[in-house]
């Protein structure tokens, strides 16, 4: 069968590298164009030596050129910063090319909310109505029809998957939700910064952007859709001295009297049903008393959820673990691309987690 030609803008960044790792083992997609302004002209194997033994090794990296991408690719992944992706996406979609945008440019349905949180006017707000939020468990039908998919943020993926069954089933109050998340340093991208230098991170642990992180409105948008009421939640991120991984602890108030077994059954049924409809069972609801660990999901699409019903404080607490680069970015982008191209969602995504 003829391979499906795909392109990637931002090959030298962390999510671009992760996409290459996954595409190197994909049975149907062929990466025919990989772009970077800083690495143009070099062989992919020289820029990403860990992929030197794969079918991508001989690909020459080029400078980003939307005409060239459109002429050669059926689908393009945009692994570039927000604000940059929107013009590229608009140009590619106008040329009838499918786009999976890993940035935040098309995630928020209201362009005013985008201006408020990103301090940037949306230059292609007309495309927001056709952009589909790429969380496969919730939106796979729409993703399969989409030309433009807004790949979710890493923190929102972990928090929305933790909240979805509770909000959808009226288990949790819409008010007073707190998401306390911890991420490895790859979440900040590969561009060097003092904050992510080894000596600033190693053997320490800190909070940042409390109360005003840009992923907050994305979580509120999707949580509000699930609960069918407006939600304001408190999102508080932290950075861990790890490479990959996000662990989110999400605190909610119980909306009704339920025991832990009932909540476990609701969560398990919700993801069994959505997983069966999607054709991939990536959300694993752990037995009561078992807690997710980032290493158990490393390099995969898995999202592990642990549940606590605490009658003493009237809280339902959900702990969620994902790999920020795979489930929180490039793996999810590949799953969305599979769906857009009519392929099985799990294609190229079934390797076991890397432990230890």
Ligand X SMILES: NC(=O)c1ccc[n+]([C@@H]2O[C@H](COP(=O)([O-])OP(=O)(O)OC[C@H]3O[C@@H](n4cnc5c(N)ncnc54)[C@H](OP(=O)(O)O)[C@@H]3O)[C@@H](O)[C@H]2O)c1
Site of interaction with ligand X (CB under 6 A)? 9-10, 12-16, 36-39, 64, 79-82, 84, 102-103, 153-154, 186-187, 189-191, 324-325, 328-329
Q: Shortest distance, CB of residue 148 to ligand X, whole angstroms? A: 15
Nearer to ligand X, 16 or 237 (CB): 16
Q: Which is nearer to ligand X, 189 or 353 (CB)?
A: 189
Catalytic annotation on 53? Answer: no
Cα(170)–Cα(226) distance, integer angstroms:
10
Tell the smallest beta-carbon distance from residue 314 to ligand X (Å): 34
Out of 73, 154, 303, 326, pick the active-site residue.
154
Return the structure tokens found at 216: 């907050």
Instruction: Kindly state the smallest distance separating residue 102's Cβ from ligand X, in Å.
Output: 4
Toward ligand X, which CB reaches closer, 8 or 347?
8
Q: How far apart are CA 160 and CA 263, in angstroms?
A: 17
d(CA 324, CA 349) in angstroms, rounded, equals 15
Instruction: Concatenate the DSSP letters of all residues of 110-156 into one string.
Output: -HHHHHHHHSS--TTGGGTTT-EE--HHHHHHHHHH-SEEEPPPHHH
Beta carbon of residue 331, minimum distance to ligand X (angstroms, whole number):
10
Residue nearest to ligand X (CB): 13
CA gap 88, 66 in Å, rounded: 7
CA separation for the pair 111, 126 (Å, rounded): 9
Distance, in Å, from the CA atom of 19 to the CA atom of 13, rounded to the nearest integer, reads 10
Query: Smaller CB distance to ligand X: residue 50 or 141?
Result: 50
Q: Are strands 246-253 and 315-322 parallel, antiparallel or unpaired?
A: antiparallel
Beta bridge partners of 321: 247, 304
Sequence length of the chain is: 356
Q: Which is nearer to ligand X, 270 or 302 (CB)?
A: 302
Distance in angstroms (rounded) separating the CA atoms of residues 105 and 111: 10
Smallest distance from ligand X to CB 221, Å: 16
Question: Looking at the DSSP assignment, which residues form a beta bridge with residue 75?
Answer: 6, 98
Enumerate the active-site residues. Answer: 154
């Amino acid at each position: 069968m003829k391979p499906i030609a795909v392109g990637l803008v931002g090959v030298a960044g962390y999510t671009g590298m992760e996409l290459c790792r996954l595409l190197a083992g994909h049975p149907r997609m062929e990466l025919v164009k990989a772009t970077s302004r800083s690495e143009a002209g070099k062989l992919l194997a020289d820029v990403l030596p860990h992929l030197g033994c794969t079918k991508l090794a001989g690909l020459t990296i080029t400078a980003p050129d939307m005409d060239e991408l459109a002429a050669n690719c059926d689908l393009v992944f945009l692994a570039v910063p927000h604000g940059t992706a929107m013009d590229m996406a608009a140009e590619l979609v106008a040329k009838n090319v499918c786009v999976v945008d890993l940035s935040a440019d098309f995630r928020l349905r209201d362009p005013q909310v985008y201006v408020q949180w990103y301090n940037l006017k949306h230059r292609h707000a007309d495309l927001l109505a056709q952009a589909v939020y790429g969380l496969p468990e919730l939106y796979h039908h729409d993703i399969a029809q989409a030309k433009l998919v807004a790949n979710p943020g890493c923190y929102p993926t972990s928090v929305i998957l933790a909240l979805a069954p509770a909000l959808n089933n009226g288990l949790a109050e819409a008010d007073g939700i707190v998401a306390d998340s911890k991420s490895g340093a790859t979440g900040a991208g590969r561009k060097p910064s003092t904050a992510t230098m080894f000596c600033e991170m190693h053997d320490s642990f800190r909070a940042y952007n409390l109360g005003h992180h840009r992923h907050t409105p994305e979580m509120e948008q999707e949580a509000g859709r699930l609960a069918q009421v407006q939600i304001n939640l408190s999102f508080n991120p932290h950075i861990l001295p790890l490479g990959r991984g996000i662990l989110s602890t999400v605190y909610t108030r119980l909306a009704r009297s339920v025991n832990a077994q009932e909540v476990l059954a609701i969560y398990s049924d919700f993801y069994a049903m959505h997983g069966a409809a999607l054709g991939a069972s990536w959300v694993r609801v752990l037995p009561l008393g078992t807690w997710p660990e980032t290493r158990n999901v490393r390099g995969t699409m898995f999202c592990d959820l642990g549940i606590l019903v605490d009658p003493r404080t009237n809280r339902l607490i959900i702990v969620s673990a994902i790999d920020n680069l795979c489930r929180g970015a490039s793996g999810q982008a590949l799953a969305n691309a599979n769906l857009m191209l009519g392929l099985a969602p799990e294609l190229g995504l079934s390797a076991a987690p890397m432990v230890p």
